[in-house]
Structure 1
Amino acid sequence: MSYSQQELEALLQNDEFISWVLSTRPEENVQWQNWVQQHPDREAMVKMIRSIREAEKEAANSHDLADQIWHDLQSQLETPVRQMNWRRYIAVAAVITLLAAGAWWFTGMEKTEKKGLLLQKASKHELIAKNTGSSLQTLYLLDGTRITLSPKSTLHYSRLMSGNKREVSLEGEAFFEVARDANRPFYVYSGNIITKVLGTSFRVKGDEQIVVAVRSGKVAVSRKESTTEQFILLPNEQVIFNTRQNTLQKLNVTDVAILANPVPAPAVLNYDEAPVGDVLDSLAKMYAVDIQYNHSLFAKCRVTVALDQESLYEKLTVLCKVVGANYEIIDEAINITGQGCN
């Protein structure tokens, strides 16, 4: 066998693997296709899962299921796949369905939703995040920026935030905690208003009346059609744009609640002897980005690390240093390469 029962169990709990198994176009994921082709028993196992058409038994837990498949593949590996007793693996269907339903994985999908936050592709490079629920939702951009999106609000943004400036478009209300980058200013487009920052926290809200209020740092607010009329806002200052009257007014903030983010900042991500694959998969979910790596190659890599509120790229740099790997951006995906762990 090219893997142990424990590794097979981990596969059944891997959101990326599950998404690929359920995909109607599995050939588009080169990483998993190559993984399958590396050993014949992998192809047999994948075919076994894909051949299931309906759930006729209660779902087994992933440990028991992995044990069953692993031992049966050992004894039946030389048997032609078409002759295997597929009915023994009907339980896989329910497990796959349950895992896929709760997965927060965006690779290869046009859209995905979890707990009121809908993510969908607007184009190859642009994502749209919609808060379809009744509670606040948090987005993490790859540069380290955290955005708290209010209900019924929509944000358009670039998946990888590449280029010499960072840009997002907002419909509705959001609280921004922008990661500082002196070389790449951050722009928020909301209606007829442009907000430019380098690194700060502020709120943008409104439709007929757009309000930009600053909690920390400094921002510049201007109209889209004119950069001559510009207001520089410092902490506890705000600009109110009346869309009907087409007026901009700078005021002090009187309602301090507008400067607060009800969603607390996430704690430091602490991992103690955790499989590096689990860490990478968690980061892929957190940032809604495709992180590709050879699962079997890194299966034995474990890390003890604390990942603070830096950007995804800084987090990946730390992880890669620990396991002796490298990462590069290829198209819209992040590819991890290295020698793996013995």
Structure 2
Amino acid sequence: MKSRKAFGKLLQKYLEGKCSESERQLVEQWYELIDEAPRQDYTEKEWEALEYKLWRKIESESFETADESIESSKLGFWRTYRTGIAASVALLIGAGVWWYLGNQDTNPATIATQPTQSEIAIQDNTSSKPIKIDLEDGSTVTLSPHSQLQYPNHFAANKREVQLRGEALFEVSKDPEKPFYVITNEVVTKVLGTSFYVRSVDATKKIEVEVITGKVSVYEKEKVNNENPGVVLTPNHKVTFFTVEKHFITGLVEKPLPQIKSISKKPETFEFDDAPIGEVLNKLERVYGIDIELENDKLSTCPLTADITQQPLYTKLDIICATINGKYEVKGTTILISGKGCE
């Protein structure tokens, strides 16, 4: 095999039982050199160990004496043949067999060409705690347990691309000239500079993106070249892509956070004394960047006396609704408040 793509296809066919007899023999001859059974779920360290074992085997083969019970001409051919096979396997491992197998659905017509494996770092978080990864552009990634990030040691001149499996928090350095792309199985998230979560879990058949600061656009990988920017998200908003149904659903994050501070650069306070609820809700909209609507405009004049500064947004809403004998509902990216009114 002369390319990782060809080797990857062959190994995948072998693992799926779709090889021809000659292909099957070739794969088994490769792995016979190192007494390993072919599989596709090696970790990066296992691939390195595999390569090391392979070259040790090559060295031992190369130093066999010429007085073995095989004709020298046949021995020379066999050594050349086996060494050639082993070198091909080692080269393919170094070039990224794992990378190919894990990303067979990448469409080169819509996603820019991947960097060579010598430029790619693969970080697996096998621990029980998040780990922090610093990228060369100053961006950071907090990789959740049981997740993996693939990223180039040096970004391209016109873009920054990483691939994620699992969940991570991205804090991206702003660079309008080099957009930042997070690529998962079927979804691409594009940003210029912001912080956001991406969750891609095969078991749930969905991919989620939640924005903390800034703005991102999320779209299907296969539609990257379309003029449609996909779903545009702002802080405290999220989108869920259902991989089976192939559609997006937008909503609000579980714990919305304040997005602006007061003039003194301190967190906004929410202490009110007979303040009209309409005024209170306007401030919540401004600080959290979320649309809040009253089902009945008359409710806006109901007074609120309370200090709800330290409460999370949804608790704030519970307290407000208690004063009007009402309730709130999250409908998409909007919060709708209804109630009987005040005395």
Give the alignment's TM-score, normalised by structure 2.
Answer: 0.39
Larger radius of gyration: 2
Higher relative contact order (CA 8 A, sep 6+): 1
